[in-house]
Each structure stands twice: as C-alpha cells, then as structure tokens.
A and B are shown apart, each in its own frame.
Chain A
Amino acid sequence: MSQTSERPRNIGARVLRFEDPRLLSGRARYIDDIRRPHMLHLAIARSQEAHARIGEIDVESALALSDDIRVFTGADTVGLAVTANAEYPEVEFSQQPLLAQDRVRFVGEPIAAVLADDPYRAEDAAGLVFIDYEVLTAVSGIAAARSQESPVLFEGWRSNLFVERQMKGGDLAAARAAATHVVRRTYRTHRQAGVPLECRGVVAEYDPMDETLTVWSSTQIPHLLRTYISEELEWPETRLRVVAPDVGGGFGVKGQIFVEEVLVAWLALQMGCAVKWIEDRREHLIASIHAREHEHTLEAYLDAEGRLLGLQADISVDCGAYSTWPFTAASDPGMVAKVLPGPYDFGAYEATFRGVATNKCPVGTYRGVGRPSAVFSQERLMDDIAAELGCDPLEFRLKNIIRDFPYKNVLGFTYDEGSYAASLEKTRELLAADIAEAHRTRTSDETRIGVGLACFVEQTAHGTPDFTRRRVPIETGYESARVEMMPDGSVLVETGLQNHGQGHETTLAQVAADALGVTPQEIRVRHGDTLTTPYSVGTWGSRGAALGGGAVHMAAMEVAAKLRAIAAHLLQAEGQDIVLGGGYAALADDPDRHIEIRHLARAAHRNLERLPDGMGPGLTALAGCDGPADGTYSNAVHAAVVEIDMHSGKLSLRRFVVVEDCGTIINPMIVDGQVRGGVVQGIGSALFEQFVYSEECQPLTTNFADYLLPAAPEIPDIEVHHIETPTPLTPLGAKGLGEGGAIGPAAAIANAVSNALGISVSETPLNANAIWTLIQSATGKSETGG
C-alpha cells in the first residue's frame, strides 16, 4: 500500500454539498418540472369505498366535458398489475391491478384513468366518472382480520393472512423453566408514513425515433422500476429508460413500485405521446404507502440476578389491502421478528410473526422498516422489566448488553464490532443532571421531568444472502459504481444509488477524490438515470455510504492503480511505490519526482504511445459492492428528556440526545443532518402522527390539518455524539446510517413519559389526548395507592 498519511483526507471532512446551489436557487428539476411537448395530464378516479364490488362505471359525463378527454378503466388493463409474489408456502400471493377489476379493497384504489390536455380539466373529468359500488363489509384491523366472522379479502385465500411464520433460536422451554421472573406486555404503534414533502409523480413518453420509452418518476429505485415495467409490459430494458430527477424526499415511501408508475408508462405507449401524473396531497395520504401499525406481545424470562434468559414474541402487523413490490407484506413483521433480540445477550428466542390484510392503504417501507416499532417494544419492555425488578433501567441494560465481538446472536446473525456499552455509559454521563432532576420531581403535582432512553442495533447494508433468505422479489443487495477519468483529468462517478437529500453528489466525490488524488470539486457524480448509471437496487436500507460508497471506492482504486502504473512508467520508476495526491502522482520515497495526474489522464486517452507496453486505453472501471452476509450493525442510544405539565397535560421535549456509531464517517455534517432529520421523524412518530380510519375503513386524516407533522416550535435542538467503530466488512469501514435516527425516538420518549408519570406506556403516538389520559390514570393510581 502507498503511504497516505500526509495527503489531505476528504473522507471525514466537512465538505459543503455540491448539490446545494441548484436546490437553493430554484434550478433543481423535480418530477413536476418535467414538461414535454404535447403532454397529456392524468387524473385518477379512485375508490370512495374501502371494500366493494364495482358495478357500472359511467364515463359519458367525463367524456362530454371536452374533446380532449380520454378515459381508461380496468377493462382496458386486464392482466396488468403490481404483483408481490414471494416463494414461501406460508406467504400469500397478492396482486393490485393497475386499475381495479371487479373489486376494490381500499379507499383511494385507482379505478379509472382520465387524460386531458390540461391538469385542471383532467381533474374535472375524473370527478365526473360515476362508479356503482356494491359495498362489502370492511376488515378494519388486526383483530377483525383474524376473526372467523370477517370476509376473506382475496379469492382462494384461506384467511386474511399475507404471511404467518416463525423464527427461533435456543431452548425457550429451558429458559422459561429456569426463570425466576416472567414479564409479559403488549405494545402497539399506529399507522404512520414517511410523507415526503414532494408527492409522487410520473411522466412517460415514447420516442418513435429510437423506439425508446422514457419514464421519469419520483422514485428511490430507478433500476428496479425499469426491470418491473419491462417485465410487466414485456418491453426490452434496452429500450426503456427510467430517470429519477431531483426527488423531494423519499424516506422509503418511494422505494416500491406503484401501480401508477406502470399505468403511466402503459398510457404513454397507448397514446403515443407524453403522459404526466402528479399526485396531490390527499392522494398521497390515503393511497401511497403507510407503515408502523403493529401489535407485539412479548414475554421475557429472567433469572434471579436480572439476566435475560429468553424472549417470546407474537407480532402482528396490519399490512393493508395489498402486498407491495419488492419487499412484500412480510417486510415489516419479519423485520420485527429478526431484530427484537437487539443489543442484548441471551440464548433463547421464539417469534411468531404475521402480516394481515385489511381494507386500508397498503403498508410498505418507511425509514427504519419495522425497527421503530420493534425497538419501541424492546425498549419499553426493558424499562418495564427494570421497574418490576426494582433496578435502574440503564444499569439493567448494561447488565445484559453484548460486550464481546463478533457476537453471534440467538438467531445466528453475527454482529460486527460496536460500542454498545460505551454508548450507554456516555449517555449516563450526558444525562446525569436530568436524571437527578427527574428524581426530584417524581411526585410533583405541577411539573414532572422524565428521562427515557432507547438502546438499539441496526442491521444495515444487507447483502444478497440476507435477501435470498427472505425469498422476496428484491432478491439482491449490491450497489454498483462506474468511475471514469476524462482526458482533461476531471472525473465522472456514476452510481446506481439515487440521491434524494442524502448528499451523494458530495460524499461519493469525497470517496473518489481520496482514491484518485484529486479534489472532490473535480468530480461530478451522476445518479438516478438508468441510461447513464450501472444497475443497482437504489437508495434504501441505509446502504448508500457503506455499499454505494464502497463501490465507488473499489472502482476508483482500480483507476488509481492504472494511473500509478502509467506514472511509474513515465517517471522511469517501474516497481516503485507511487502516491496520488494533490493532483500529482509522485514517488513515495522521492516526492520531487512527480507528474500531474491530468497529464496521465491525457496520456491514457490520447497519447497511447506513452503508456507501458500492452496497456489498453482509457481510465474507466466498474465495480459492484455486495453487502456482508449478515449486514453490518450500527448502534445507538437515544435519550429523551420530557417535561409534563400535570394540570394541562402539555408535554415539552426538553432535550434529545443521540450517541451513535456508524463506523467510518465520510462527511460529519451530512451524518449529523441524517441523524437529526431521522430523529425528528421519530419524534413525529412518538408524539403527533397517526392515520386514523373509521370502522368502515374510511380515512379520516386526509390533509396536514389532521395528519400532524412535527413543526419547528415543538422540536428542540438535537444533540448528536459520535463513537466511531469502523467495520472490517465494508470497503470504507462505514456502516449504515440513514434510518437510525428514526428508530429510537418513540421508545426513548415513551420511556421518558413512563418515567415521569410512574406508569407503563404501551402505545404511541403520545398526543395531547394520550398524555392527558395517562396523567389521569397515573394520578388516579397514586390516589388509591396513597
């Protein structure tokens, strides 16, 4: 290896983002900014019923509105669907047709596609599509879905279960027999979603010149979308281009294939011109992707010393009306079953997990995928156990925390090295004054302070084996990158990731710069366009830095090796160590002998006579980086300090502290931004956000006055502390980071509220009404007790 110590390192530096001037000046181009000549606008007539048979669809009034109106219904799209198959016998196959066939299963399901020259008129016409419904009984939740009385939502299904399976490890019966304490609790989280500020949108256009269909979509997974459309419409991928332009937030929501994406592509082929669909906020809130509607019953077994012996879990998730592609309805419940063992050392575990079908919006991925709910239950349980045992919750965790690495957990997953105990100890130090204050206000009738924490590991950068085990359509877990140094010495990095706020245009340039010895400013990162980027699975699952960055590093190192070989040849120093840095290639032992890297680049492309014998032209490399078999495990402790006014029930979040370890940090500014943003989404989960449905499964939270997102005044500064334990499992030592912020807050805040009120909180969100009710039960209990 060449010496690297004296070169300025870009990895680890606070480099300001290269994408910002575009985004700050209004020059960015989001999906609604894509405009094509002769473009038609699509509005969708959606189901107003949660569960119904569709009778006649009367399109005459819509067509009569003006000459440019065209209407398509399910009769035109027979056989076309988004199909989320999975290859387990315990998993039911579900299909959402592009346009409803004979039956609708949630409010908002697309029934008719209405095209017009003008988006206002398309909406007018969609409102004039009259649909006859024969209303059926709605299946409203987990209990209803499991009841024998309820209708079964799909023909040929035995019950309303998308999936019911088990995961187990160790001898649970022995743990139960040996236990001196058994703690059993049920915890619930409610329906929420990522809610990016840019809604979804799709534009598609067929170009007869080169017989290519181009689809622009506000998606996190352009290559997967290309593959899906290709397979569904039987259209070759060589003549299909998917472009994700600037994307206004995703958070997992835009990480699945939607019927609208396939529908718009199909309509563009039917019409022979461009078709555009821009989702409105109501559509987004009722008919995109929801998450987090979980119910977990846990039973923990402990010995007399307060050591965890085993855990049993029963996990149910309300997955809504359809399974989704590519992660399926098994994703949320399966994730919970997999991650519940968490950062704790115990030897027996058994989980039964199920996803049930109901007449609500389908459930898909949202930042953390199952983990926010899993960690809520896991960490509430830890506090509840500590309370039963009469010990300090932090000390109880320290007693049971994993300390030796690599650690093979109860399910056989191997954790790489982390800083679990150190993070807890750091948190104890940071919160000492708050913990003392919480003690002092414990019985106050005026204001109480509560401190709560959440300690968790997050499996990130999942590799192909992890997805092979799941046997769901995602199938694979690698990222690819192509690095090309141009004749002028500037560098193009093409990544299969899709950047929707993560800062890839900057961080990936930092990675390539260190490998190539040039500045990040000389590097342009392209992403989001299947025509110009190598095939990858996209941006999700906290994999950008670890795997996308890893792929860039691998490809750039290959280019760097060629630069070194050319430099050694031109400096007549074959076999000697060459260092790349500061725009020069120099002899490691004699830096005065050097040559500019841009001259090497020119030689490689234009002056082949100067290259070593037998060396081919060009400076391009393509690399794929697959994740480790069990992923790599980030860890964090989140701590919340809440203040509760006992008269009004008003909760204020005084402090929120994060101690996290994501391995090697490429750009600390971006890491802090990801953590803080995730935390505030998690605070939304803890305190504000809930999709409410009526018993008939009518959505009652259809705008931002009813579905409450956190706004600035309710949110404190978020304190972030880092411990850096690089992993040997990825090329840069980076672990995944993007989702972690959103995983801990619900648990930490619920623990803080439990701590303040001396009770056990069992569900979120803890909105004003919930806090008020908890105070009543807490003070009522203390009155009868005292």
Chain B
Amino acid sequence: MNKSLLAISKSEVQEVFSYWETGQPDKFFNRLTEDFEWTVMGTHPLAGVFKGKDAYLNGAFNRLSKVLKDDVRLKVIAIYVDGQTAIVELKSFMTAKYGHPYHNSYCWIVHFDDEKQISAITAYLDSALLKQILEENE
C-alpha cells in the first residue's frame, strides 16, 4: 500500500489544531474516533492511558480546566508529518486560578486513521510544572 495515499497533510493538521489556538477544544475533540486512546506521559496526577473521549475529559482535561483562569489554549510551534502520523510541538500561555503563569511545552504524537480522524495521541509535557500547578490550585 502506498502510504502517501492515506497521508495527512501539514495544512490539515494545522486546521485541526487551530481549534486549540482559538480556545475551541470541543471542535478538536469532535475529530477523535470512538475508540481512540490518549496517553499522557510522565509522573504526575493526570498521567495515564485514557480510552475514549469521556475518559480523557474526566481524567485529565476537566481537572486541568478547573485550576486555570483562562480557557485551555495551545499555540502550535511546529508540525511534522510522517504518513498518517503528525508530530506537533505546542506551548501554553495560560494563567492558573491563583495567578501563577502556566507556560507548559508539549510534544504530541498524533495518529490519524484512513478517514483522517484521530485514533491515538501520545502527549509529552513538562510534568513538574503540571504537578506544581495542580498542587497550588486544587
């Protein structure tokens, strides 16, 4: 099989991630497949393998949202594409509930299926900072 037939393009990835930049993560979540897996790497309270959107929202996203003053917004720094996988470097410039800046840096490995829906994400991030923000604001 010619993998280029199924490959995702950089501009398609940019489009999906624009929802993070404009504070509309729900639109990003609409692109997740039913059985997708989100692996949050590292040693911190939100780490783990989340199977399905609800598991991810309840286990990680909603808990983080509660300690932030702003909507969750991420800025895309760089995108690389290898076949059906995109690697996206991201930064956050948010503020925690009690005023501490939450400037995390992320590298997400994002797998797309044949319908260009997202079937898996592996997320690397600054775990020490995440841990600190949760300890200070929960």
A binds B: no
Residues in chain B within 8 A of chain A (CB atoms)? none
